[in-house]
Structure 1
Amino acid sequence: MEEDEADLVAFLDEKERGEFVFSVKDEEELIAFLMIEHMGYSMDIGLGMRPDLTGQGKGVTFLKAAMCFLRMNDEPKQMTLSVATFNKRAIKLYKRMGFRTSRIYM
């Protein structure tokens, strides 16, 4: 995200990013985020965690909390995830949590 300065500024500004991006903070420090896109009866989610917090088993807890949050607020019939193909650690987590690959975009 840091490679596109305009996107980073919009992402960090609550008014710019709108009501479909949520931040997870420790005190005032951003540690993770959740993005939601409504797609008909489905909800596509994207999430990210600060790099120094990955690889410690925290992804399962974060993904479960995100899914619980979505179910409490929107009750989606289906949830999909978007993830970069190079992000093998995230893909492994998502598959372990029951998600499966349906499409790959280039």
Structure 2
Amino acid sequence: MMLVPLSVFHARQICDWRYPSPYERFNWPAWADMVRSGSDFGDRRVRRRQFAAIVDPWGGLLGFAQFFPLVGVLRLGLGLHPELCSRGLGARFVRLIADEARRRAPGEQIDLEVLTWNTRAIRAYERAGFCITDTYERDSTHGRAQFHCMVYLPEHGPGQPPLEA
């Protein structure tokens, strides 16, 4: 697995992915709609600055990552190809993205948000070195939902609560 710039070719493929229930909320709109609205990787500048594709050694698209800058934090967004979910790739996939985030933003906190019901993703994130540090409710594209904030702490051990200061 390796990270490469997210191309229009990759973006079109991601828009065609379809996750089964209950994960269908992670399906992207049609590519033409993304470009028309200029949202997320449909905006060329945002795609170049914030997104990467994760490919196999032959260039096949495995997933994508978003590196969203906040003050003192680099927040991750990510997606694994739906046909590759639940096949044991999650922790390695997430660790690759988190390590790239550390390279891009040395010294900044690396975190992500995950819906509290998405236990499959939470397990992969914990195995990759993320710990739940907060739980809250906020608006999402599908209405109000409860999220965990998970912080990358690989030196602390997978799934461990953060050390007290």
Q: Place the TM-score, normalised by the shorter chain, in its bin.
A: 0.7 to 0.9
Instruction: Give 1:64 deviation, angstroms.
Output: 1.0
- The aligned residue for residue 50 of structure 2 is 20
TM-score, with structure 1 as normaliser: 0.77
Distance 1:11 1:25, change over 3 A: farther
- The aligned residue for residue 152 of structure 2 is none
1:103 equivalenced with 2:135 (yes/no): yes
Match of 2:102 among 48, 60, 71: 71
SS at match of 2:103: helix
- The aligned residue for residue 4 of structure 1 is 29
Distance 1:50 1:8, change over 3 A: farther
Paired residues, what number?
A: 106
Question: 5 Å matches for 1:25-36?
Answer: 25-26=55-56, 27-36=58-67
Between the aligned partners of 1:14 and 1:3, the Cα distance in structure 2 is 14
Match of 2:73 among 26, 42, 45: 42
Instruction: Give 1:15 deviation, angstroms.
Output: 2.8
* Deviation readout 1:21-72 (Å, 9 max, x if unpaired): 1111233432200001111001110111001111111111111111111112
Per mean C-alpha deviation after superposition, the further-off stretch among 58-67 and 15-24 is 15-24
Percent identity over paired residues: 23
Between the aligned partners of 1:58 and 1:14, the Cα distance in structure 2 is 29
> Which of 1 and 2 has greater Rg?
2
Distance 1:78 1:3, change over 3 A: closer
Q: Return the structure number with greater strand share.
A: 2
Instruction: Give 1:74 deviation, angstroms.
Output: 1.9
- Structure 2 gap segments, 5+ residues each: 1-25, 139-143, 145-165
TM-score, with structure 2 as normaliser: 0.53
* Higher RCO (CA < 8 A, seq sep 6+): 1
Per mean C-alpha deviation after superposition, the further-off stretch among 33-42 and 86-95 is 86-95
